[in-house]
């Protein structure tokens, strides 16, 4: 590798030590240690990253902003063939901003928590989301999801499975795909089941009892089962969600 290639690799090194096992980065670091000019440059680069992280760390990011940006970008790109060219360019710009936003936050944010996941997902479903597939048949929904590289094989709680499905969609949480399946409760109110791979949310204890939490008028329950992280959210109280989880649905 020449010096320019080494600099490009070292510029990607994150502050949290997440890249310690990357052989390419390890090789670039070894090369920098043997070259005083590269070593000085890398030290200055890391110092800049630390100061930048401190600066942006104090900027409040509204809950669910990244999730909603990614969702909007995804829908705009999907519809781009139907739009005039200048609108297509706008959609592309939104997509670029969404990717940059995700990468920028990923460099400096701490490990995500159950509270992070709950807050972003509730913020997303609070404004009734559009669905990729509308169907009253759960089997059809699961078949559609199996084709989208998302957690499709999910365990539906007994009480929830007694409700009529409305449809499903996929979205993103910190770069990870999430499955959303919606069920009709009464009137226009819905119950939302969100599922992602447990590796994206390691802080949730394995196969334990659901963790309940209130977020405004929304009650949520989070749990982990067979390699999946689940979040059930509905407008109501804990007793309502417990009925959905245990087997009886009002």
Q: Could you tell me if 240 and 143 lie in one domain?
A: yes
CA distances from 63 to 154, 180, 205 (A): 26, 18, 23
Ramachandran region, residue 174 (left: φ > 0; alpha: ψ -120 to 50; beta: rest): left
Domain CATH for 168: 3.40.1000
Tally the domains of the chain.
3
Residues in the chain: 250
Q: Could you tell me if 48 and 137 lie in one domain?
A: no
pTM strictly above 0.75: no
- At 180 the pLDDT is 94
Q: Residue 187's domain spans which residues?
A: 114-246
Digit-coded pLDDT (tens) for 80-104: 555 455 555 555 555 555 555 544 4
- At 107 the pLDDT is 44
- At 195 the pLDDT is 92
Could you say which residues of the chain have pLDDT below 50? Answer: 83, 102-110, 248-250
CA distances from 11 to 15, 42, 48, 57, 110 (A): 11, 8, 11, 20, 20
- The sheet with strand 176-184 has its strands ordered as 133-134, 164-173, 176-184, 190-197, 228-235, 218-225, 211-215
- At 163 the pLDDT is 94
């Amino acid at each position: 590798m020449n010096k320019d290639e080494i600099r490009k690799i070292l510029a990607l090194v994150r502050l949290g030590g997440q890249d310690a096992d990357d052989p390419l980065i390890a090789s670039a670091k070894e090369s920098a240690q043997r070259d005083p000019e590269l070593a000085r440059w890398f030290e200055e680069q890391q110092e800049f990253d630390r100061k930048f992280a401190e600066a942006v760390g104090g900027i409040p990011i509204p809950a669910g902003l990244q999730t909603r940006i990614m969702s909007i970008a995804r829908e705009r790109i999907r519809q781009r063939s139907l739009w005039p060219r200048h609108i297509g360019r706008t959609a592309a710009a939104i997509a670029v901003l969404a990717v940059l936003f995700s990468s920028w936050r990923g460099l400096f944010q701490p490990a995500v928590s159950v509270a992070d996941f709950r807050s972003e997902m509730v913020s997303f479903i609070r404004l009734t989301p559009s669905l990729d597939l509308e169907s009253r048949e759960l089997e059809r929904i699961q078949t559609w999801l199996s084709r989208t590289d998302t957690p499709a094989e999910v365990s539906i709680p007994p009480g929830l499975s007694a409700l009529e499905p409305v449809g499903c969609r996929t979205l993103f949480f910190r770069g990870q795909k999430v499955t959303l399946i919606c069920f009709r409760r009464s009137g226009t109110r819905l119950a939302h089941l969100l599922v992602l791979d447990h590796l994206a949310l390691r802080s949730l204890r394995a196969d334990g009892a659901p963790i309940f939490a209130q977020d405004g008028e929304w009650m949520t329950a989070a749990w982990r089962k067979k390699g999946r992280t689940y979040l059930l959210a509905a407008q109501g109280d804990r007793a309502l969600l417990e009925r959905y989880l245990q087997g009886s649905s009002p």
